[in-house]
Structure 1
Amino acid sequence: MKSTAYAIVSAALAFQASGHSIFQQLWVDGVDYGSQCIRMPPNNNPVTNVNSNDIRCNVGGTRGVGAKCPVKAGSTVTVEMHAQPNDRKCSSEAIGGAHYGPVNVYLSKVSDATKADGSAPWYKIFADSWSSKGSVGDGDNWGTNDLNACCGKMDVKIPDNTPSGDYLLRAEVIALHTAGQSGGAQFYMSCYQLSVTGGSGSVPSGVSLPGAFKASDPGIQVNIHAKMSTYVNPGPAVIAGGITKTAGSTCSSGCAKTCAAGSGPVGTGIAAPAPSGGSSSGGDSACAQAAFQQCGGQGYSGCTTCAEGLTCKAVSPPYYSQCS
């Protein structure tokens, strides 16, 4: 009996782990910047404590990197999620294991995106949450279904009236498959460093992270395995000028549908220019990877220099090396 119970628990844990994922890459108006300006989480595990500073940019993600991706106000960025580091294949779900839930994107205006700790206010510019199919909640339409339908990509417009300057962009999935109990919701998020130009206007009011969520919020502690008549997407409402996507609309006609990894828009062969403050070429002293970011490995062509005090070490030779 004991061994049977152990086997059941082990199988359940393996099922949950199979859906762990990371937002990793960024496109700007159809140009592939890869992982050049992301604060890469150290692994693909979620954050479950909404009162932890990790809820900002994920564990270790408060450390800045040397690069900022240039974005014009009104442009479309495309965030990209996959289960394993440096894996952009479309043959596997971006976030599997029945990890259903909303996809949200926030901005935070900061003085220097390479140094900001995520404590400045955040405001929501995008949401792809839930819509009913008349079934139980995990059979309804969710933002994560749309993400999976688009090879892990989601198009997000930077509002036209976004003031010029530095920002952190926070992409978030909230997986709700075990959210029937307090602390069961799983937050997967990454922060990208942006430098926005061509904008004007004022910065919208925002919320603090932590502080914007409670473990008991109806969209965080919820049983999606029962039929639902409504779902309350956690956090603030999307700002005026932001985008609220209807869950179940799958891919838009933009980059999420047409872009192929490593090539910019399909068929163009466009390569991403170097972001500000960094370089897309390996070994350039202008770039510096933070702790747990990739710095080498078979087929890797990104930055190979680690931040001061860190060393590039092979963790799965010859395929993957990271700074530690």
Structure 2
Amino acid sequence: MQYIWVNGQDEGHNTYIRVPPNNNPVTDVTSTDLTCNVNGLSGANVETVSISAGANVTFEWHQHDQRTGEDAISGGHKGAVQVYIAKAPSSAASFNGQGSVWTKIYSSGLLDPSSQQWATDIVNANQGKHSVKIPSSLPAGDYLLRAEIIALHVAQSYPGAQFYIGCAQATITGGGSVSPPRIALPGAYKGSDPGITVNIYNNLQSYTAPGGAVWSG
């Protein structure tokens, strides 16, 4: 994940994002790398973007450095796209994202069984972008926004699924007072989950992503 957009405004390359050392995937669902990728437990040197509750946030992915015109993820890497959010107890920069703190606000997986069209195909067709509305009922404060792509092309056995993860730091303004459902990452994902260990080439007719249901706010 290399860019975020807030209400259609490009915030710049790697701005407000905890940037991992390379574009290698995470494959161990018990590792703290599942939270915000490698070296992602601190954002001490990362700035925090201000976002109003109810705003539209777009995440933009690329295989290589910046916008080179290639797909966000290799065309053979079929899979799901999800977004989570977690409220920091103090500043976003000092938040490690551990414990039952994450709320799923977006999930897209197998879109068309007949053509085997996946969420990743749509992201690629949209120049690496996918968007989510920040629930307007979330309380104001500092948050981590966590986007993930789950590539399933070699997920027939565990570890096989490839998790591409990006976290951005945000201060949400306005908002409400709702306390949403939360899960832990790592913690909620199991290697045996049908959304993690799955043969997508076996005429798959449905797909259930890990992490439970989307909270709509």
> Shared topology, TM-score over 0.5?
yes
Q: Deviations over 1:50-74 (max 9, x none)?
A: 0000000011111203310110000
Give the alignment of 1:61-72 within 5 angstroms: 61-64=40-43, 65-72=45-52
Matched residues in 2 for 1:229 and 1:77: separation? 30
Task: Give the length in aligned residue pairs.
Answer: 213
Aligned with 2:29 (options 50, 59, 81): 50
CA distance in 2, matches of 1:155, 1:184: 27
What amino acid does structure 2 have at the position aligned with 1:238? V
Structure 1: runs of 5+ lacking an equivalent: 1-22, 242-324
Q: Residue 123 in 1 paired to residue 103 in 2?
A: yes
Gaps of 5+ in 2: none
User: What does residue 98 of structure 1 align with?
Assistant: 76
Q: 1:148 to 1:97 in 2, by over 3 A?
A: closer
**What is the TM-score when the length of structure 2 is the normalising length?**
0.95
In structure 2, C-alpha distance between the alignment counterparts of 1:146 and 1:115, rounded to whole Å: 34
1:173 corresponds, among 127, 149, 169, to: 149
Q: What is residue 143 of structure 1 aligned with on the other side?
A: 119
For the Cα contact (< 8 Å) 1:106–1:125, is it kept in 2? Answer: yes
Q: Deviations over 1:158-188 (max 9, x none)?
A: 0111110000000000000000011000000
The question of whether the paired residues in 2 share the 8 Å contact of 1:123 and 1:236 is answered with no
- Which one of 20, 26, 39 corresponds to residue 41 of structure 1? 20
Q: Which amino acid aligns with 1:79?
A: F
**Aligned with 2:4 (options 26, 29, 47):** 26
TM-aligned CA deviation for residue 141 of structure 1: 1.6
Retained in 2: the 8 A contact 1:47–1:186? yes
1:83 pairs with one of 39, 63, 66: 63
Residue 97 of structure 1 and its aligned partner are, at CA, apart by 4.3
1-side partners of 2:156 and 2:184: how far apart? 25
Percent of aligned pairs sharing the same letter: 47
Q: Which has the higher strand share?
A: 2
CA distance in 2, matches of 1:202, 1:159: 10
Q: CA RMSD in A?
A: 1.1
Higher RCO (Cα < 8 Å, 6 or more apart)? 2
Query: Which amino acid counterpart does residue 11 of structure 2 have in structure 1?
Result: Y
Specify which of 162, 169, 175 is matched with residue 199 of structure 1.
175
- Whether 2:95 is the aligned partner of 1:108: answer no
Equivalent position amino acid for 2:7 in 1: D
Letter aligned with residue 32 of structure 2: N
Instruction: Give the TM-score taking structure 1 as reference length.
Output: 0.64
Q: Residue 147 of structure 1: SS of its match in structure 2?
A: helix
- Counterpart-to-counterpart distance in 2, 1:119 and 1:133: 35
Secondary structure of 1:211 counterpart: coil
Asked whether the equivalents of residues 109 and 203 of structure 1 are also in contact (C-alpha less than 8 Å), the reply is: no
